Chains A and B, each alone.
Chain A
Amino acid sequence: NAGVTQTPKFQVLKTGQSMTLQCAQDMNHEYMSWYRQDPGMGLRLIHYSVGAGITDQGEVPNGYNVSRSTTEDFPLRLLSAAPSQTSVYFCASRSGLQETQYFGPGTRLLVL
């Protein structure tokens, strides 16, 4: 099993550009989430999904969209990048039967 994979690992954007951060898991987990982590801070929940076709907002959803068309994939879209979105983004998944969240390696995003 590859676990949770994320692409790209690094990305530089200009203000106003859009992009999609990819996330996939091969563990057949129902729950998937996107978090952002800023320097010296914990992780803050952006959006989450409890199954294909179902998504909901987390703590900091503004400026981001998500969709969940399959169990495996949960892409995060930045509609119009802003410098405040410079951060490290982590995707995570978990089974509905366990509390363990499995995190991907992260995407480091710099918005100029």
Chain B
Amino acid sequence: GQSLEQPSEVTAVEGAIVQINCTYQTSGFYGLSWYQQHDGGAPTFLSYNALDGLEETGRFSSFLSRSDSYGYLLLQELQMKDSASYFCAAPSGANNLFFGTGTRLTVIP
């Protein structure tokens, strides 16, 4: 089976840095994706790590360690608009995604 574990909630201060972790157990691992979802909205793609290491996209970075079955999303210079739920996801087979249960990030002034 597949499982992706994330903390359920994280709170951080505006302007700070926050890390959201994801540990996974999957068969046939291909890579790790991250999605953002605001309340009432649809998930939107943030990043994908196929290989070990850090991928940077603006204020967001994502890291993967296959040997540790672990990844994280790093958000820098937090803004109020970053308050949302964040999901890690891994391909299920070769065709679609298996999602974690999500981390609700609250950014406070």
| Contacts from A to B (Cβ < 8 Å) | 31, 33, 35, 40-45, 48, 50, 56, 58-59, 90, 99-106
Beyond A50-B95, A99-B31, A104-B42, is A42–B87 a contact (Cβ under 8 Å)?
yes
Query: Could you tell me if A103 and B96 are in contact, using CB atoms closer than 8 angstroms?
Result: no
Q: What's the minimum C-beta distance from B34 to chain A, rounded to whole angstroms?
A: 11
Question: 3 tightest A-B contacts by CB?
Answer: A42-B99, A103-B42, A99-B48
Query: Could you tell me if A99 and B33 are in contact, using CB atoms closer than 8 angstroms?
Result: yes
* Residues of the A chain whose Cβ atoms lie less than 8 Å from the Cβ of B41: 105
* Residues of the B chain whose Cβ atoms lie less than 8 Å from the Cβ of A31: 95-96
Query: Could you tell me if A106 and B42 are in contact, using CB atoms closer than 8 angstroms?
Result: yes
Contact digits for B30-73, partner A, Cβ 8 Å, 1 yes 0 no: 01010100000111110010100000000000000000000000
Beyond A99-B33, A103-B42, is A43–B87 a contact (Cβ under 8 Å)?
yes
Query: Could you tell me if B33 and A45 are in contact, using CB atoms closer than 8 angstroms?
Result: no
Beyond A42-B101, A100-B48, is A90–B42 a contact (Cβ under 8 Å)?
yes
Q: Does B23 contact A (CB under 8 A)?
A: no
From B48, B96, B102, contact of A42 by CB (8 A): B102
From A33, A35, A50, A102, contact of B45 by CB (8 A): A102
